[in-house]
Structure 1
């Protein structure tokens, strides 16, 4: 048995690395958005929608 040519378990290791990467990205996203969800920093669908509409109308009127 040649250790260099032995590739058993390589697929499992790659899946573990992929899963670990996904977990790291999910934790990073949670940390980034944590303050937004805790403080409710202006979470209001009406004002958000009004802001988006105003931006779209402004862009439409320019072009």
Structure 2
């Protein structure tokens, strides 16, 4: 009976450890995406978008 309880406790601890790793990875990915969004707002992207918009008048 004790071995079944120990196995259950080990599975709970293993699952908890996996959840901690997943939550840390999600947090790091969120920070990465926030940093990336700041870089996407650069002048080069804005200029490219303006050029695409100016080409739009030829396709209307």
- TM-score with structure 2 length normalisation? 0.49
- TM-score with structure 1 length normalisation? 0.47
